[in-house]
Amino acid sequence: MHQDDLPTVLRRFGREECSQEPLYIALCETLADDDRALALLAEAPAEQRKANLLLAALHERVLAGAAPELAAYYPSAGGARAPDAGLAAALDACLAREWPALVAHLRHGATQTNEVARCAVIWPALGAAARATGARHLALLDLGCSAGLNLGVDRYLLRYQADDGAWHERGGGELAIESRWLGPAPLPAEADWRVTLRHGLDPAPVDVTDPARLRWLQACLWPHDARRRERLASAALQLQDLPVTLTQADDCIAAIEPWLAGLPAGVQPVLLTSWVLYYLNDADLARLRATVDRLALSHGLAWICGDLPALSAPASPRPPEPVLPAGEAASSLTLWTLRHAEAGRVAGRSLAWSHPHGRWIYWLG
């Protein structure tokens, strides 16, 4: 992406993705007019040259206490100042003072939201995978796992609000995740499957016991969303008691087959990707799809994918989009799909639409 295109990227992100984050709406406009900020974003590798990576890098400096001028605008740092004419000067001060740290984030970092509320849709998706394969014991591999928080999907209390306003609970645990269950499909049943092995792959897996790495995860969240920060902190604490293996892999796609080869007999391998394809280049996207299809036929691998519909179901008819609750924007609609071997071929189907952070789910049945 040429640097001349970056102002458009920033403005579009602020306009389309940040409708509920007034600071980021204003900040994206300010960044788009700042030559130094554009040069900073250009430091990122092409596939990571996203507005949210630049926003996360700035947020991390705020949370680290290194950008007091900007902190006044960030609720996550105790700030209460609304975006105003002083925002540009505060940004300039941060860029001037924190340039080396910011460049390091852009060159080597990646947005790793690891949004645990997606477990509200991962739970029924795992049930769909279990039914499709006839399996009850699942080995779960989260590709692009970040800290691996979604590997604890069956250890969280999932609370679904039906159309009539009633709440229905599934699973169990100290961390409660709430989501609206839209449409006519029945609510997910209690699990008749279990996750017996949990493994994550990531180019830079996050050790949640490292304060600096945990701060980066927090920086990838929207500044105003205290609920998500609390959820992240609670999930990070709970993860420490789970038998989870996180592996660093420069080539996560190539690492799928060795993981499969090391599994014990009697478990169903399930690959999970949630908002990972968005960050892959075209060649790696094609390689991932080819690898999954080959391993589905040779090793019975099932793939649960949640991403932009053009990525999660590129060759399939797109199911009709749901009617969204009042106040919900249609941008970043996430389409969840399941792909697995069936009668000697690879079959795929759409499972659900959801909010990208799991705030609501429209199950397709």
In this model, does residue 237 exceed pLDDT 70? yes
pLDDT tens digits, residue range 276-292?
A: 998 899 999 999 999 99
Alpha carbon 81 to its chain centroid, in Å, reads: 29
In this model, does residue 63 exceed pLDDT 50? yes
CA nearest neighbour of 365 among 225, 185, 173? 185
* pLDDT computed for residue 3 by the predictor: 53
* pLDDT computed for residue 128 by the predictor: 97
In this model, does residue 314 exceed pLDDT 50? yes
Q: What is the mean pLDDT of residues 202-206?
A: 90
pTM given for the model: 0.84
CA nearest neighbour of 359 among 127, 27, 20? 20
CA nearest neighbour of 154 among 221, 25, 244? 244
Secondary element (H or E) of residue 365: none
Q: How confident is the model at residue 1 (pLDDT cuts 50, 70, 90)?
A: very low
**Exposed, middle or buried: residue 100 (CB in 10 Å: 0-12, 13-18, 19+)?**
exposed
Residues 350, 313: contact at Cβ < 8 Å?
A: yes
**Would the CA dihedral through 319, 130, 146, 354 be positive or negative?**
positive
* pLDDT computed for residue 85 by the predictor: 94
Name residue, tokens 């990525």. 311
pLDDT tens digits, residue range 70-126?
A: 999 999 999 999 999 999 999 999 999 999 999 999 999 888 767 899 999 999 999
Express as a percent the part of the chain with pLDDT over 70.
98
Q: What is the mean pLDDT of residues 61-68?
A: 97
CA nearest neighbour of 140 among 303, 351, 337? 303
Q: How confident is the model at residue 332 (pLDDT cuts 50, 70, 90)?
A: confident
3-class DSSP state for residue 87? helix
Q: How confident is the model at residue 365 (pLDDT cuts 50, 70, 90)?
A: confident
* pLDDT computed for residue 115 by the predictor: 85
pLDDT tens digits, residue range 166-191?
A: 999 998 888 999 999 999 999 998 99
**CA–CA distance from 120 to each of 53, 83, 150, 170, 177 (Å)?**
25, 33, 10, 9, 7
User: Which residues, other chains included, contact 263 with Cβ-Cβ below 8 Å and sequence gap of 6+?
Assistant: 139, 197, 269
* pLDDT computed for residue 297 by the predictor: 98
Residues in the chain: 365
Q: How confident is the model at residue 4 (pLDDT cuts 50, 70, 90)?
A: low
